[in-house]
Amino acid sequence: MGLKEVIEEANRKAFNRLNEASSYWVDIDIAYRVIEGFKDYMLLHAGPPITWDRASGPLRGALIGATIYEGWAEKPGDAEKLLRRGEVLLEPTHKHGIVAPMAGVVSPSMPLMIFYDRVYGNRSYTNLNEGLGKVLRYGAYSRDVIDRLVWLREKVYPVLKAVIDDVKSDNREGLDFKNIIMQALHMGDECHNRNIASNTLFLREITPYLVRAGVDKSDVLEVYRFIAGNITFTLNMSMATAKLLTLAAHNIEYSTIVTVISRNGTEVGIWVSGLGDEWITAPAPTPKGVFFPGYSQEDANPDIGDSSITETAGFGGFAMASAPAIVNYIGGSVDYLVEANKMMYEITYGENKYFTIPYLGFRGTPTGIDIRLVLKKGLVPVINTGIAHREPGIGQVGAGIVELPLDLFKKALRRYAEKYGL
Amino acid sequence: MGLKEVIEEANRKAFNRLNEASSYWVDIDIAYRVIEGFKDYMLLHAGPPITWDRASGPLRGALIGATIYEGWAEKPGDAEKLLRRGEVLLEPTHKHGIVAPMAGVVSPSMPLMIFYDRVYGNRSYTNLNEGLGKVLRYGAYSRDVIDRLVWLREKVYPVLKAVIDDVKSDNREGLDFKNIIMQALHMGDECHNRNIASNTLFLREITPYLVRAGVDKSDVLEVYRFIAGNITFTLNMSMATAKLLTLAAHNIEYSTIVTVISRNGTEVGIWVSGLGDEWITAPAPTPKGVFFPGYSQEDANPDIGDSSITETAGFGGFAMASAPAIVNYIGGSVDYLVEANKMMYEITYGENKYFTIPYLGFRGTPTGIDIRLVLKKGLVPVINTGIAHREPGIGQVGAGIVELPLDLFKKALRRYAEKYGL
């Protein structure tokens, strides 16, 4: 078998696993209890590894906030000192199978939702989504931001724990979230920046358990209203699902399929299946989009967050034609996003068997980015994304679209040639 | 002012009212208590007036079932005798501001959901949707069909009553269902034959009230699971909303805008705003579509039901481009339904201000069918519809699309010319 055939077989395997992996929400627990070696004075962040001195504004803001949330410092200035002196160990979320949007800062006492792939036996994790606006993941760290994080742990976590325990007592191996994504793609979501269908479908699934789980009624109402009012709540769950799908396709010798795309606000990094957990990085591009009143392109931080795992798994920006109403949020025209979506077929291994786009005659979404095709066509993946302010402490200022740098894929192919001695 | 200007002004007024009318679900009660003069041995049915001898199979089946449900007869044979002898008075639903899908048979002790338009002060009513398959509205009348109707009254009605009472106690004038339709049109529904988004959005709205209304937990769960599992549940609510919108546009002197389209399985009838409550009728066409396994076009009954009030109000078949996934249910290709949808702009007064289609660049749905335009263009309204078996007692056999006969509009224009002495 020639090299070409070896690669083709490896990619076929990666693509099939990317399709066939499943994703069930199975539990929720506190991070230090489920992530091995997650100790005090350690924080996780989205994207490739980074140190404080190179971290962008929103990541710094989120690290400050998490340091206060954990009680390692009381004031932002003190938190910053700790962080600057390197007294808090920083590691990437992906190193631990976690995905978290934007700054993606996860600290030991935050709750994590746990997802399980029955087919390939993998686990992934995600944090609880705080809502829109002034939130930790966009770099805000004021008192109300910290209070909301505490409330997520003290109020939302126990209710969701009761729900998932009750789901499992019902002879079910958790809640099938891949199925929710499949449906939501027929209901105007692309499950990255538009999540209203997945949110309502998720609520429909959990409501019977919320009702009967024996939780205090006022707590049930409080948590229900929070999730119903936070249309990004299920983004994290879609990301954890995407992580399971891509994890199944990861670490296949000779495969040129991308299995992680993630950004830390300074650099964008990718994993390639055949290169294992090695980060290939390039400077993070700055997204273009629609800004909230009072903000403009100049305020935009370079791209940040693990949420581009959705595009890596074949939805989000790769399913935009399912979600025409998203132009209200990320800008652009419906025709543009349909065309941009179609272009992605040029750089992917195949069409998804489970994620389909009604408007394209139920064509499967473009799935499995092949670094060779990106370079051959000179066409880079498009990512839908939220936009953080470049200064710490401010938060979200808009949403838009970003194109990854071609250089990233050139570097990846060089590393690939090196590793396989080509 | 010339006649042309008089008509234009009348139609502008009708169109504006069709746009500006609101629709709030405000109550649920037993039919004989809310519909004036609704007495024993009286049944309502969809479409224009009809007698037993001219009624189609599914309407006869539903009349038999309702007669048994009311306890006026025990056996189908006895019920049929009563009906054949004319001992049960038949009247159209629209005469009473009620809309009900398919056979649309409403009997005195059935619960009706009550809708209110705050802007123009009108009320409309609809029955509770039984689900899919073997159900009264498709002409089935076996024991399980009757049992389900009893269960709707004994179990679902009290729970929904508790919910709506609680909604209103919450300082709200009911539940804004027009808003749910506006959202659902951005989530892949056209709100006639695809209702999954409106269903989940409705559940999201009522869940907090379900939780706190103080109803028995097992009843809450039973009703919740029924609605969540019945994706046509909110069709009736969309119809009641469409009835309020069209009612606001009705009875405007000189207006040529259609304010009712409805079928009784034998004839299709329309109301024209400037002609008041006068039915203009023609033989009902037979829909073409996708049939359930074991059934074919030959089994199809001519078109039946009040649900075409949705198209009259500017959604359903007039918003198909919002719902590409509907081709799974009604057949055809996505391109066809987008084109069919666009054609409707040719025969309508204007573009809806509140119902918009993301795929068409958020263009308002074609709204306000003008009988003059239908004749001028030789283009008839397209209706999405369920298909009933032509024999009584069987039920739904498919779903598809139907075009109204052009003759209907010719007759309407003749009557209009007569009335206004043109």
DSSP string for residues in A6-56: HHHHHHHHHHHHHHH---EEEEEEEHHHHSTT--TTEEEESSS---GGG--
Which pLDDT does position A133 carry in this prediction? 80
In this prediction, residue B215 has a pLDDT band, given cuts at 50, 70 and 90, of confident
% pLDDT > 70, chain B? 100
Q: Is the pLDDT of residue A173 over 90?
A: no
Q: Is the pLDDT of residue A171 over 80?
A: no
Q: Write the pLDDT tens digit of every residue in A108-158.
A: 999 999 999 999 999 999 999 999 888 999 999 999 999 999 999 999 999
Residues of A in contact with B188 (CB under 8 A): 186-188, 197, 358
Q: Is the pLDDT of residue A179 over 90?
A: yes
Using the structure block, give the residue that is written with the tokens 């508790």. Answer: B162
Q: Is the pLDDT of residue B416 over 90?
A: yes
Residues of A in contact with B361 (CB under 8 A): 333-335
Angle (nearest 5°) at CA A309 between A304 and A312: 125
> The domain B1-422: what is its CATH number?
3.90.1700.10
Which pLDDT does position A224 carry in this prediction? 96
Mutate to test the interface with A, among B167, B186, B334, B336 (most CBs of A within 10 A): B186
Whether A240 contacts A201, CB under 8 Å: no
Which pLDDT does position A384 carry in this prediction? 87
What's the mean per-residue pLDDT of chain A?
96
Measured in angstroms, the CA of A344 and the nearest CA of chain B are apart by 20
Mutate to test the interface with B, among A190, A196, A216, A226 (most CBs of B within 10 A): A196
Q: Write the pLDDT tens digit of every residue in A240-296.
A: 999 999 999 999 999 999 999 999 999 999 999 999 999 999 999 999 988 998 999
Residues of B in contact with A220 (CB under 8 A): 211
Which pLDDT does position B289 carry in this prediction? 86
Whether B393 contacts B373, CB under 8 Å: no
Mutate to test the interface with A, among B181, B200, B209, B355 (most CBs of A within 10 A): B200
Average pLDDT over residues B70-83: 98
Which pLDDT does position B313 carry in this prediction? 98
Q: Write the pLDDT tens digit of every residue in A32-87.
A: 999 999 999 999 999 999 999 999 999 999 999 999 999 999 999 999 999 999 99
Q: Is the pLDDT of residue B315 over 90?
A: yes
Average pLDDT over residues A17-21: 98
What is the CB neighbour count within 10 angstroms for residue B399? 22
* Alpha-carbon span A161 to A165, nearest angstrom: 6
Q: Write the pLDDT tens digit of every residue in B219-236.
A: 999 999 999 999 999 999
Residues of chain A with CATH 3.90.1710.10: 25-236
Q: Is the pLDDT of residue A172 over 80?
A: no
Which pLDDT does position A314 carry in this prediction? 98
In this prediction, residue B56 has a pLDDT band, given cuts at 50, 70 and 90, of very high
Q: Is the pLDDT of residue B172 over 80?
A: no
- Give the H or E element holding residue A242: helix A235-248
Which pLDDT does position A297 carry in this prediction? 93
Q: Is the pLDDT of residue B136 over 80?
A: yes
Please judge whether A203 and B204 are an interchain contact, meaning their C-beta atoms are less than 8 angstroms apart. yes
Nearest residue to B400 via CA among B303, B313, B289, B306: B289
In this prediction, residue B132 has a pLDDT band, given cuts at 50, 70 and 90, of confident
Which CATH superfamily, name and number, covers A25-236? Enterococcus faecalis V583 domain (3.90.1710.10)
Whether B111 contacts B29, CB under 8 Å: yes
Across the interface, of A211, A325, A333, the residue whose CB is closest to B217 is A211
> The domain A249-419: what is its CATH number?
3.90.1700.10
Which pLDDT does position A213 carry in this prediction? 83
Please judge whether B221 and A212 are an interchain contact, meaning their C-beta atoms are less than 8 angstroms apart. yes
Please judge whether B361 and A220 are an interchain contact, meaning their C-beta atoms are less than 8 angstroms apart. no
Encoded tokens for A262: 């993630």
Please judge whether B203 and A203 are an interchain contact, meaning their C-beta atoms are less than 8 angstroms apart. yes
Which pLDDT does position A328 carry in this prediction? 81
Q: Is the pLDDT of residue B290 over 80?
A: yes
What's the mean per-residue pLDDT of chain B?
96
Average pLDDT over residues A398-418: 95
Residues of A in contact with B212 (CB under 8 A): 217, 221
Average pLDDT over residues B338-359: 97
Which pLDDT does position A290 carry in this prediction? 87
Q: Is the pLDDT of residue B332 over 90?
A: no
* Alpha-carbon span B398 to B293, nearest angstrom: 9
Q: Write the pLDDT tens digit of every residue in A315-336.
A: 999 999 999 999 888 888 899 8
Q: Is the pLDDT of residue B171 over 80?
A: no
- Give the H or E element holding residue A208: helix A196-212
In this prediction, residue B258 has a pLDDT band, given cuts at 50, 70 and 90, of very high
* Alpha-carbon span A29 to A93, nearest angstrom: 16
What is the CB neighbour count within 10 angstroms for residue A302? 22
**Secondary-structure percent of chain A, ordered helix, strand, coil, rounded to 5:** 45, 20, 30
Measured in angstroms, the CA of B207 and the nearest CA of chain A are apart by 7
Angle at which helices A157-169 and A217-229 pack, to 10 degrees? 100
What is the DSSP track for A281-338?
A: EEEPPPPEEEE-TT--GGGBPSPEESTTHHHHTT-GGGGGGG-GGGHHHH-S-HHHHH
Q: Is the pLDDT of residue B175 over 80?
A: yes
